[in-house]
């Protein structure tokens, strides 16, 4: 575990130095994992496989670790596991003990009324426990808007701006908690919306100047690719993608099922579904400038 976490730290330093971001792709099941593995292999890109609490409950935290390790070996990948939006210190500790290289502790996501003191205290506790393996800890000092779904409402940017990160706020939070990665809010929000998202790149650049640690962008789905090209140049090391993959998965599955009404062996119908998700992942890898950046463990 410690060696894997050391490699993960090296990967983030490499991303910072070489100006690319590692895509953190959520999985709902084995098919999405296969799609990510194939894309990473084809593009020779480092990737993160991530699960939030719902996926942990459905798949099992140790099953996730074992599945990723199996495909890591099969495809010869540089791949890490991220526990995304862990809702409590206890849940985050389980991820650390399961050997996840990246842990996102999100006190405010689970408890939107959490005080600054509660968020800092919980985050510090996870940072301290992560020394057990050397896992990298990510957090943010505020509730992050949206959800990993398809939204029909328009984006109210005047409301969203109230939750934007600030350079001073980021600097103080990083100093108070000792986190490895700061989850910045600069117009990115979870889910897909009727209109493309808009990122405040000037604000992102100001945050980058204010902190030395890694920066991640959540809610990457539905964001025009040119924002990612600029974000990695500014200094983002990690981008989370979920909803874009889920939409490709479901729409393709619905079409394939409709085209094959008498086939009940669903496993025989999954090739097109996996290919559709793989296409999404490959496109993101190109936008994150991570193609050709994988380094395999010796």
List the alpha helices (DSSP H) in 60-200: 61-75, 89-97, 107-110, 116-129, 157-160, 167-177
Per annotation, catalytic residue among 84, 106, 200, 244:
84
**Spatial CB neighbours of 18, under 8 Å, sequence gap ≥ 6:** 293
* Conformational region of residue 146, where left means phi above 0, alpha means psi within -120 to 50, and beta covers everything else: left
Is 84 known to be catalytic? yes
Listed as own residue / partner, the contacts of 90-96 with beta carbons closer than 8 Å and 24 or more positions apart are 91/53, 91/56, 92/126, 92/129, 92/137, 93/126, 93/129, 94/61, 95/61, 95/135, 96/126, 96/129, 96/130, 96/132, 96/133, 96/135
User: What DSSP character marks residue 88?
Assistant: S
* Conformational region of residue 148, where left means phi above 0, alpha means psi within -120 to 50, and beta covers everything else: beta
Contact 243, 190 (CB under 8 A): yes
Active-site residue set: 84
């Amino acid at each position: 575990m410690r060696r894997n976490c050391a490699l993960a730290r090296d990967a983030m330093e490499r991303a910072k130095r070489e100006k690319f971001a590692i895509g953190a792709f959520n999985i709902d099941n084995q098919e999405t994992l296969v799609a990510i593995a194939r894309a990473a292999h084809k593009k020779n890109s480092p990737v993160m496989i991530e699960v939030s609490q719902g996926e942990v409950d459905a798949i099992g935290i140790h099953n996730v670790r074992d599945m990723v390790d199996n495909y890591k070996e099969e495809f010869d990948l540089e791949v890490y596991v991220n526990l995304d939006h862990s809702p409590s210190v206890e849940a985050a500790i389980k991820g650390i003990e399961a050997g996840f290289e990246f842990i996102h502790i999100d006190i405010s996501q689970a408890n939107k009324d959490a005080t600054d003191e509660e968020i800092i205290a919980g985050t510090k506790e996870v940072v301290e426990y992560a020394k057990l393996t050397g896992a990298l800890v990510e957090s943010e000092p505020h509730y992050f808007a949206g959800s990993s779904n398809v939204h029909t409402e328009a984006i109210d940017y005047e409301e969203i701006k109230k939750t934007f990160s600030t350079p001073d706020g980021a600097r103080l939070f990083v100093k108070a908690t000792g986190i490895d990665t700061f989850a910045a809010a600069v117009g990115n929000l979870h889910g897909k919306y009727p209109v493309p998202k808009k990122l405040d790149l000037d604000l992102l650049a100001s945050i980058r100047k204010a902190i030395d640690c890694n920066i991640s962008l959540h809610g990457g789905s539905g964001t025009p690719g040119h924002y990612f090209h600029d974000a990695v140049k500014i200094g983002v090391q990690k981008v989370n993608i979920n909803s874009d993959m889920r939409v490709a998965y479901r729409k393709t599955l619905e079409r394939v099922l409709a085209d094959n009404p008498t086939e009940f062996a669903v496993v025989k119908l999954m090739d097109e579904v996996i290919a559709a998700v793989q296409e999404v992942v490959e496109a993101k890898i190109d936008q994150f400038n991570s193609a050709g950046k994988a380094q395999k463990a010796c």
